[in-house]
């Protein structure tokens, strides 16, 4: 009997020929990831159990991306605590300050994660790396502690749902729209503890940036991981990044799936997830009456250079609406540099947008764009729960960079094709 790509990666890291859905395993990991919010608890547990050294100082990655540059005394103390640990352990991959970016954009960019890897991160959007053909999944801080010590993780092999995307993409539709539409179709628990395998002719033509966006939001459907089989695009993206080549896995033709869901992309137009669930997907055109106060273009979901280029192409020569704050946040220093060289940042500044250093800040209501009571924000982030970006009575609408930027110009939610 054949295996899925997820099962093959897990089997390889267990040193066996095969594993099956529902089986409990303890595979070796390639990367253990933490950030400034989740690492402190893991480190406290690490010290409490008497551990002396991490299993491999090149495989434990700590990224200070959520509240840095430090927004207050508490966040400064957290980062200092993690920094001290990183220095004690002589970690190869510790990121803070000028080399720090949003973790799930930074790790692929730097070649830290490669195809075929098994990545465990104390951040729910660790599933992003599935876009490269890796098994990556979020875990708790205590699980991160165990992984840092042993180099292993205990988990159950997930069943897999296969999503087949066919048809032709409409104008202004990208990976964000595909995943919002998919979550809207199956619900926030539609893939609970299951692998979401994205396939089909549309996926084969999709850019790596859009693939990262789709894998990133697998958790918003309850998925254990999202994954796309590596192909020529994946290998082209990996060229010149990092020192490891990785390993290519593909699902067998006779692999067993819990379900196979086909989606005709020609029926999908720009989507917006309205409060307070990512599954509340509506068409942007149906929401034209909703006035907004803020727009955020950035995050681990849509803060890549391709996203900034798209946003800049729409706002060039135009202005942000007088009642709207528009925040543009490149996800990494490398992306920031590219946007600067290409003149994108100048376009945003002339339009009246605010440009930030790389940070997760507003996505989790941390800093750099907190909402007041009654305020509404269109964001390229991944969650729109109650109080996610600030006050419990504020609202977050999830959209792609084109919709977000067009909305910043008009002051209300709009499909980019409606711009004059």
Rounded mean pLDDT for each run of 10 residues along the chain, 420 residues in total: 96 97 98 97 97 97 93 95 98 96 97 97 97 97 97 98 97 98 97 98 97 98 98 94 90 97 98 97 96 98 98 98 98 98 98 96 92 98 96 98 98 94
What was the pLDDT predicted at 25? Answer: 98
Contact between residue 210 and residue 380 where contact means Cβ atoms under 8 Å apart? no
Closest CA to 137 of 154, 112, 120, 152: 120
Closest CA to 398 of 413, 420, 416: 413
What was the pLDDT predicted at 245? Answer: 85
What was the pLDDT predicted at 242? Answer: 79
Token pair recorded at residue 225? 């991981």
Closest CA to 113 of 251, 300, 245: 245
Contact between residue 297 and residue 404 where contact means Cβ atoms under 8 Å apart? yes
d(CA 3, CA 162) in angstroms, rounded, equals: 13
Max CA distance (Å), the chain: 64
Q: How far is CA 38 from CA 219, 303, 387, in A?
A: 17, 22, 20
The pLDDT tens digits of the residues spanning 52-93 come to 999 999 999 999 999 988 999 999 999 999 999 999 999 999
What was the pLDDT predicted at 187? Answer: 97
pTM (2 decimals)? Answer: 0.95
d(CA 389, CA 396) in angstroms, rounded, equals: 7
d(CA 405, CA 419) in angstroms, rounded, equals: 11
For the chain, list the domains and their CATH numbers: 5-243+254-262 (3.30.499.10), 272-418 (3.30.499.10)
Upper half-sphere CA count for residue 31 (Cβ side, 13 Å)? 34
Q: How far is CA 322 from CA 294, 351, 394, in A?
A: 11, 11, 20
Strand-pair category, 60-63 with 135-138: unpaired
What was the pLDDT predicted at 318? Answer: 97
Contact between residue 302 and residue 176 where contact means Cβ atoms under 8 Å apart? yes
For 328-343, b where at least 16 C-beta lie within 10 A, e where not — what string? bbbbbbbbbebbeeee
Token pair recorded at residue 130? 């599935």
- Residue 104, SS3? helix
Preceding amide of 276 cis, omega within 30: yes
What was the pLDDT predicted at 6? Answer: 98
Q: How far is CA 356 from CA 34, 47, 184, 361, 382, in A?
A: 22, 35, 31, 10, 19
d(CA 146, CA 49) in angstroms, rounded, equals: 10
What was the pLDDT predicted at 228? Answer: 98
């Amino acid at each position: 009997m054949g295996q899925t790509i997820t099962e093959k990666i897990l089997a390889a890291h267990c040193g066996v020929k095969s594993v099956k859905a529902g089986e409990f395993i303890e595979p070796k990991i390639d990367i253990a990831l933490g950030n400034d919010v989740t690492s402190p608890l893991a480190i406290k547990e690490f010290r409490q159990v008497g551990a002396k050294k991490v299993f491999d100082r090149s495989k434990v990655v700590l990224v200070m991306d959520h509240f840095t540059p430090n927004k207050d005394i508490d966040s400064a103390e957290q980062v200092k605590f993690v920094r001290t640990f990183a220095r004690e352990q002589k970690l190869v991959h510790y990121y803070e300050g000028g080399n720090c970016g949003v973790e799930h954009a930074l790790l692929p960019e730097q070649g830290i994660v490669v195809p075929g890897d098994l990545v465990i991160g104390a951040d729910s959007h660790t599933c992003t790396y599935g876009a490269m053909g890796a098994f990556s999944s979020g875990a708790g801080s205590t699980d991160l502690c165990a992984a840092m010590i042993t180099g292993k993780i205990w988990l159950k092999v997930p069943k897999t749902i296969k999503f087949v995307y066919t048809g032709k993409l409409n104008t202004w539709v990208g990976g964000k729209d595909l995943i919002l539409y998919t979550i809207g179709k199956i619900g926030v628990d539609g893939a609970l503890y299951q692998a979401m395998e994205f396939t089909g002719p549309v996926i084969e033509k999709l850019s790596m940036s859009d693939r990262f966006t789709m894998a990133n939001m697998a958790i918003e459907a309850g998925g254990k991981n999202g994954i796309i089989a590596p192909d020529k695009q994946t290998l082209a993206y990996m060229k010149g990044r990092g020192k490891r080549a990785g390993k290519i896995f593909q699902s067998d033709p006779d692999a067993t799936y819990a379900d196979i869901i086909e989606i005709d992309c020609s029926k999908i137009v720009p989507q917006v997830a309205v409060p307070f669930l990512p599954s509340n997907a509506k068409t942007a055109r149906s929401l034209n009456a909703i006035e907004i106060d803020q727009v955020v273009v950035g995050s681990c979901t849509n803060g890549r250079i391709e996203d900034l280029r798209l946003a800049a192409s729409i706002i060039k020569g135009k202005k942000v609406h007088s009642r709207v704050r528009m925040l543009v946040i490149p996800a990494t220093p490398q992306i920031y540099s590219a946007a600067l060289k290409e003149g994108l940042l100048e376009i945003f500044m002339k339009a009246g947008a605010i440009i930030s250093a790389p940070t997760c800040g507003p996505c989790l209501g941390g800093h750099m764009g907190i909402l007041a009571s009654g305020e509404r924000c269109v964001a390229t982030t991944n969650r729109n729960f109650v109080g996610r970006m600030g006050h419990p009575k504020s609202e977050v609408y999830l959209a792609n960079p084109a919709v977000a930027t067009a909305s910043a110009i008009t002051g209300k939610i709009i499909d980019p094709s409606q711009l004059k």
